[in-house]
């Protein structure tokens, strides 16, 4: 049978493959991946097209934090604060950051317009919650950042109408020189239901880790949860919401730590042959000598 000639990939296919690699880069590693992708493509125009589409999506999904010029504060790059493709609102400073997605830097700022900000009534709830979440993140996550946005009803002027707030928490521990990077991302949607006088919380938690010393081990864990509480004053709502978030996130981190502790006896064991090609039995009785669990736990700041 004659050999079937391998079909050449189209430019569109090459671009989609390049985007896939960029979008699936571990936390803090897209700049390294992009260099390899660029070299493999060997086509400047095609790479620029792929990068211009992938970097904004990656930055928002990873919820990266950038320092604003003049050291006036940091801005989180998230879809919740996105005004335009390269403009992101920071409500804590009432500034709009201009972002270069590919370079991952903030190139400028401008004052937020009145119609880009929540009403004074909503801002009272948002600001109180922001203060409590800022306190919690400072205690729970090394180098963690957070922000609170209004996603619905930002023009509500007083009691009688519903509105939604979202809490975003992002923490990254990047240590490529030690072959380990890790990230924590959580998004909490809070519905303020005035008529029912209740608050409904829905949380999406995500942990990512990449350990690549003499190997390539990645963790991508996700968890969803929900809770309710009563509608109270802005300060009381903020304290209660922060307490609920702390409870669920602490509980999830504890479950992850327990999974790590059981890793040698469960998942890790299933990944290895019972008798390797060396014909030497793997020392399952002494798996504590392997420091993967300890290193990942340390890099994510779990248990601190």
For 150-170, how does the pLDDT look when each residue is reduced to its tens digit (9 = 90+)? 999 999 999 989 999 999 999
On the question of pLDDT at 2 being above 50, the answer is no
Sequence-distant (≥ 6) Cβ neighbours of residue 96 within 8 angstroms: 83, 87, 88, 89, 90, 109, 110, 111, 112, 116
**Are the C-beta atoms of 31 and 213 separated by less than 8 Å?**
no
On the question of pLDDT at 34 being above 60, the answer is yes
On the question of pLDDT at 185 being above 50, the answer is yes
**Are the C-beta atoms of 110 and 96 separated by less than 8 Å?**
yes
Query: Which pTM does this prediction carry?
Result: 0.83
What whole-number distance in Å separates Cα of residue 145 and Cα of residue 186? 11
Q: Count Cβ atoms within 10 A of the Cβ of residue 2 and give its class: 0-12 exposed, 13-18 middle, 19 or more buried.
A: exposed
Ranges 3-12, 95-104, 121-130, 241-250: which has the least confidence: 3-12
Residue 275: its pLDDT value, please? 53
Confidence of residue 1 (pLDDT cuts 50, 70, 90): very low
Residue 137: its pLDDT value, please? 96
On the question of pLDDT at 243 being above 80, the answer is yes
pLDDT-above-70 percentage for the chain: 84
Q: What domains appear along the chain, each with residue ranges and CATH number? A: 9-62 (3.30.1140.60), 67-117 (3.30.1140.60), 119-268+292-300 (3.90.1150.210)
Residue 296: its pLDDT value, please? 53
Confidence of residue 177 (pLDDT cuts 50, 70, 90): confident
Mean of the pLDDT values across residues 2-19? 79
On the question of pLDDT at 11 being above 60, the answer is yes
């Amino acid at each position: 049978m004659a050999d079937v000639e391998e079909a050449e990939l189209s430019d569109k296919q090459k671009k989609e493959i390049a985007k896939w690699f960029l979008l699936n880069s571990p936390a803090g590693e897209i700049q390294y991946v992009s260099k390899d992708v660029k070299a493999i493509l060997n086509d400047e125009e095609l790479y620029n097209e792929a990068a211009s589409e992938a970097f904004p999506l990656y930055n928002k999904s990873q919820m990266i934090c950038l320092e604003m010029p003049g050291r006036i504060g940091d801005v989180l790059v998230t879809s919740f604060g996105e005004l335009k493709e390269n403009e992101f609102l920071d409500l804590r400073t009432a500034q709009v950051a201009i972002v270069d997605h590919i370079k991952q830097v903030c190139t400028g700022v401008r004052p937020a317009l009145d119609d880009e900000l929540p009403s004074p009534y909503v801002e009272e709830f948002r600001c109180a919650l922001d203060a409590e979440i800022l306190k919690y993140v400072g205690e729970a996550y090394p180098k963690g950042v957070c922000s609170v946005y209004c996603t619905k009803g930002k023009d509500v002027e007083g009691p009688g109408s519903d509105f939604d707030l979202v809490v975003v928490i992002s923490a990254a521990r990047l240590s490529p020189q030690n072959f380990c990077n890790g990230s924590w991302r959580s998004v909490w949607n809070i519905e303020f239901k005035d008529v029912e006088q209740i608050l409904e919380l829905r949380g999406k938690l995500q942990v990512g880790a990449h350990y690549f010393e003499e190997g390539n081990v990645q963790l991508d864990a996700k968890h969803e949860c929900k809770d309710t509480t009563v509608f109270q004053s802005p300060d009381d709502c903020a304290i209660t919401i922060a307490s609920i978030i702390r409870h669920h996130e602490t509980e999830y981190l504890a479950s992850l730590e327990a999974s790590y502790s059981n890793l040698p006896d469960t998942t890790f064991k299933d990944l290895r042959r019972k008798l390797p090609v060396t014909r030497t039995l793997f020392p399952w009785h002494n798996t504590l000598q392997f420091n993967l669990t300890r290193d990942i736990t340390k890099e994510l700041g779990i248990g601190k």
